[in-house]
Amino acid sequence: MTSFKPRRLFLSSLLAAMGLAVPLAPAWAQPFPSKPVRIVIGFPPGGGIDIVARTIAPKLSEALGQPVIIDNKPGVAGVLGTNLVAKAPADGHTIFFGTTGNISINPAFMPNLPFNMDKDFTPLMLVASLPFLVYAHPSVPVKNLTELVAYAKANPGKISYASTGPGTLSHLVMEDLAASQGFEAVHVPYRAVGQAVLDLVAGRIHAFFAATGGVLGQVRDGSVRALAMTSAERFPALPEVPTMAEAGVPSDPAIAWIGLFAPAGFPQDRIARVADETGKALAVPDQRRALETAGFTVVGSDTATFRALLASDIARWGGIIRRLGLKPES
């Protein structure tokens, strides 16, 4: 059989000697992935989004044939990590897990962001969701959400509540509840869920809207009390906890979600590859069980469904921020 490699090498050398460039294959035409894949997370280790990423990373690495590195870049309610990805090459080797706060809320709450969510990112998949619950310390003399509202009205300004920072979902849900029900509460922002939970358990704050994942253990051991869920249906891991509507305080359902994104311009074939392998990792029984035990609802949606959720969420939370006049210093 005749080999053409020597001839190609000769022609390449001849062209180079004549000062003519030999065209290289574009980045998108090269094998993917060709180096480790980095998943950026704009929040500290240990939170819900970090748990999801680290749970599926080993299977994703195995499927892609390259290490998958979790890179936590916390700061400014997820802005630092999000901006890093916005400026990264769109070759598929840098992706990130975003959540309701830094994707749906930040653009309205922080109008001078250094990136544009519509132009700088490609949504890939809704990975998982978590219903929010309203929790109270046992020292607060209430057993359900209706009683908490009544107690807050009878004691204006004496109820304190935690959030994971101004403009986060835990902040907006409580402010919306307070405005709709006509009571005042003192906002105590924290940098991370773990810090807020510690102070809730210690009784230094009275209440906290938070996702199920970070507080399940404390509910089960009785150190905090779960009053109601923000989802449309009860959560299987806590079937005794009613929804807000069942508790007598109707409200539009609110969930925290975790989604997979890439920089804008991400090649379509690589979108399909990353989304497909992520979906397979989520479907592995041990992986799925671990996430469900931690309080997550595993989703693994298609891109179109995820885009529709994003549009709805951005409109909703932006509307609440404008209606309540909330600003970063709130």
Average pLDDT of the chain is: 88
Percent of the chain scoring above 70 in pLDDT? 90
Contact 258, 127 (CB under 8 A): yes
pLDDT of 270 above 70: yes
Structure token pair of residue 152: 């807050």
By DSSP bridging, strand 207-211 and strand 160-163 are: parallel
Contact 92, 37 (CB under 8 A): yes
With left for phi above 0 and alpha for psi between -120 and 50, is residue 246 left, alpha or beta? Answer: alpha
Cα–Cα distances in angstroms (integers) from residue 149 to residues 142, 160, 163, 221, 330, in the given order: 9, 13, 18, 24, 21
- The confidence band for 104, taking pLDDT boundaries of 50, 70 and 90, is very high
Which domains are present in the chain? 36-129+255-324 (3.40.190.150), 131-229 (3.40.190.10)
pLDDT in tens, 10-62: 444 544 444 444 444 454 456 899 999 999 999 888 888 999 999 999 999 99
What is the rounded distance in angstroms from the CA atom of residue 145 to the CA atom of residue 107? 30
Tell me what the mean pLDDT of segment 186-199 comes to.
Answer: 91
What does residue 98 show for φ and ψ, rounded to 5 degrees?
-105, 165
Question: Cβ of 172: how many Cβ atoms within 10 Å?
Answer: 27
pLDDT in tens, 119-134: 999 999 999 998 889 9
Tell me what the mean pLDDT of segment 270-274 comes to.
Answer: 93
pLDDT in tens, 55-88: 999 999 999 999 999 999 998 888 999 999 999 9
User: Which runs of consecutive H residues, i.e. helices, occur in 213-302?
Assistant: 216-220, 268-283, 285-293
- The confidence band for 193, taking pLDDT boundaries of 50, 70 and 90, is confident
pTM: predicted TM-score of the whole model, two decimal places: 0.82
- The confidence band for 241, taking pLDDT boundaries of 50, 70 and 90, is very high
